[in-house]
Amino acid sequence: MRLRGSGLIPGLVIAAVIVLADQFTKRWAEHALTQFAPVEVTRFFNLSLVYNPGAAFSFLADAGDWGRWLLTAIAVVIGLLIVGWLARLPRNAWWSVVALGLVLGGAIGNLIDRLRLGAVVDFLDFHWAGYHWPAFNVADMAIVVGAVTLIVATFIEGDRSHPATHRE
């Protein structure tokens, strides 16, 4: 595996920036907000401290300790797969490199919370007409934007967005 000219270093830098932004904003939320006491920012947006022991949309939130460790293991495996993918991607497949860096950073950001607290810190709460979107955080945004960007990358980059395979 050739790392020189691969997307590994740029992808890891993007992931690190996301982890730092995510952890900074979550620590701020934990110190500035009180759980179950939303702060209205606009008529459709609140800052609201929530600890989510599950995954997206509180999936496995009631699973207990085994759910926490299952989600932790899934995040570690996905993270390792993304690192391997980045190492095999050419650096000029920058849409894919950015996308994978975003997903990796988001996964690591939420993994840190899961290991530190047993739950993920969420604090961004959008709502409309009494209906609330599940609260989320910077890591969640990075994962969603990264996943959408990865889909776009497959159309823009074509073969460059796939890891290099053995060539003779």
Instruction: Please list the active-site residues.
Output: 122, 140
Among 80, 86, 77, smallest CA distance to 14 is for: 86
Phi and psi torsions of 127, nearest 5°: -150, 160
Q: Which amino acid appears at position 56 of this protein?
A: A
39-42: strand order across its sheet: 39-42, 45-52, 120-128, 131-132
CB 9 within 8 A of CB 101: no
